[in-house]
Amino acid sequence: MNQNTIQITDGNWTQEIHNYKGVTLLDVWAPWCMPCRMIGPVIEELADEYAGKAKIGKLNADENKKPTELGVSGIPTMIIFKDGQEVDRIVGVVPKNTMVEKLDYYLMAD
């Protein structure tokens, strides 16, 4: 994980997601998941490109209970939050521009 990607856990959920004012892209993944590993480098790129504009985080589905609470049934799942509330969800491997379009939309929607 690069310096712009935040590791999200059950323990820091409230601080990093729930109480955060702004846009967050959360990648719910697992180390054994090949599609997750395929999209991982794209998430890292987005973290660098959106540094200072949006928070990009990764939540390991094997090590945390939060994915179950969020109703995640397949991984990778990318969830977009605005001001701590879920506003969008992407399931599966998608092109980078799909995530860019959604992030840009929520960054401009005020």
Q: Kindly indicate the confidence band of residue 109, based on its pLDDT and cuts at 50, 70 and 90.
A: confident
- Domain 5-108 = CATH 3.20.20.60: no
DSSP tag of 22:
S
Domain extent listing, the chain: 5-108
The arithmetic mean of pLDDT across residues 83-108, rounded, is: 97
Q: Is 82 among the residues known to form the active site?
A: no
Q: Which of 20, 30, 33, 86 is catalytic?
A: 33
DSSP string for residues in 53-107: TSEEEEEETTT-SHHHHTT--SSSEEEEEETTEEEEEEES---HHHHHHHHHHHH
Please give the radius of gyration of the chain, using alpha carbons only, rounded to the nearest integer. Answer: 12
89's enclosing H/E stretch is strand 85-91
Asked whether the whole model's pTM tops 0.85, one would answer: yes
pLDDT, greater one: 28 or 3: 28
Active-site residue 70, yes or no?
A: no
Per DSSP, the three-state class of 105 is: helix
pLDDT digits (tens, 9 = 90+) for 6-21: 999 999 999 999 999 9
Among candidate residues 17, 23, 36, 47, the one labeled active-site is 36
DSSP secondary-structure letter at 103? H
